[in-house]
Amino acid sequence: MNTLKYKGYVGSVAYSEPDKVFFGKIEGIDGLVNYEGESVAELTAAFREAVDDYLIFCEEHNLKPEKSYNGIFNVRISPTTHREIANRATEAGISINAFVKNALDAAVQETAHTFNRLAGYDSQAPEPAMLMEPESPAYGKNKGGKGSKITLQVPDSDIALLRQFAARMGWKMM
């Protein structure tokens, strides 16, 4: 889903073909604040104006500007996943609730960390790493002339990235 971000608020983005207009609403608040525009630039400006107006409204009426959450929600998962979570929680000596909380906290931190690393690049992404010829014919070889081996443990979500990296480096994955 496409979103807009401004002053810590997230706004949805949708398009109405019959009306030929972009529209959305501020997410994560108790009220309903909509905005629209005929172009991306107009939509972005309308979203920012809506956030600013909403914050002024909340200040004038002594309201908290964010949605209140109680920290409780239900998640439906497969019985197999439920069993695996229970097993891993038991192995870790913690409750299922603590296991899931830790996993969610880690996922949120990982997302924030990834975002913060890339935040320094405005509209220009960094150049990809360039492959260079090794300076020595012994590059990547041990004393017997065989290739060196390394073992990496990566999350399943990063396997595709690791495969791409290995291919670019000319490494063989086992």
> What local confidence, expressed as pLDDT, does residue 145 receive?
54
Top-confidence residue, 128 or 65: 65
Q: What is the mean pLDDT of the chain?
A: 78
pTM attached to this predicted model: 0.50
Amino acid identity, residue 149?
A: K
E strand or H helix at 11: strand 9-12
Top-confidence residue, 114 or 44: 44
Q: Sorting pLDDT into bands at 50, 70 and 90, what band is 32? A: very high
Amino acid identity, residue 1?
A: M
Phi, psi of 125 (to 5 degrees): -75, 155
